[in-house]
Amino acid sequence: MDVTTWYLEQTSRADLIDAKAPSIEIDTLRAEVPSPEFNRFLYTAVGGDWSWTERLPWTWRQWADWLDGGVETWVAYHRGTPAGYVELVPQENATVEITSFGLLPWAIGKGVGGHLLQVGTARAWDIADRQPEREPTRRVWLHTCSLDGPAALANYRARGFRLYDTRLNVPGDEYEGDPPGPWPGAGPRAHDAGSAGPE
């Protein structure tokens, strides 16, 4: 199966376009204590239905090393329950990459995605306020692919990200078979298929 990957960027804080308020109350907080267990949970809970598989083989130490490099994880909560997250990675040349972004299945369709992306992008722009050893951000970028959620690309563009490159079948983005879900038999697709799980 061919996979298309789109690369998008903002080059000014003024590029960021506000989203409508979500239909549910959301509090977005930074996970200030690096936790491989928590980030792996977010990665599988959000990405399991969209073929996020690259980090599934990572060891605890690989997750810890990843988080030790200045990565910031911002988590949206509704009534104490995680609804989604944004992962920010500062890079050279005053650049920040949004490496992971998405919602848990239960939060999709409630206006949380646009709001969370707005908040996460704003935090990418002001990351030097929390990491003063870094230069002020001059560029925020990300990539998404045709395996991601169907609203992903439109959400990025609606928040002011501009497309600067498109590629076909980038190594690492290919995936054969059904998405793995957060764990075998979990997630909305499994429930739709009639497997065991809460109704």
Q: Which helix or strand (DSSP H or E) is residue 98 part of?
A: strand 95-103
73, part of any domain: yes
Question: Looking at the domain assignment, is residue 110 inside a domain?
Answer: yes
Residue in the structure block whose two tokens are 């980038």:
170
Phi and psi (nearest 5°) for 174? -75, 150
Q: Is residue 34 part of a domain?
A: yes
Q: Is residue 88 part of a domain?
A: yes
Angle, nearest 10°, between helix axes 60-67 and 36-47?
100
Which amino acid does the sequence have at 170?
V
For residue 57, the domain's CATH number is: 3.40.630.30
pTM here is 0.87
Answer whether residue 162 is part of any domain. yes
Q: Is residue 159 part of a domain?
A: yes
The domain containing residue 79 runs over which residues?
A: 4-190
54 within some domain: yes
Tokens of 41: 């949970």
Residue 47 lies in a domain: yes
User: Does position 129 have pLDDT exceeding 50, yes or no?
Assistant: yes
Tell me the average pLDDT of the chain: 88
Tokens of 171: 């190594």
What pLDDT digit, counting tens, does each position of 152-187 carry?
999 999 999 999 999 987 666 555 566 666 665 565
| Domains held by the chain: number | 1
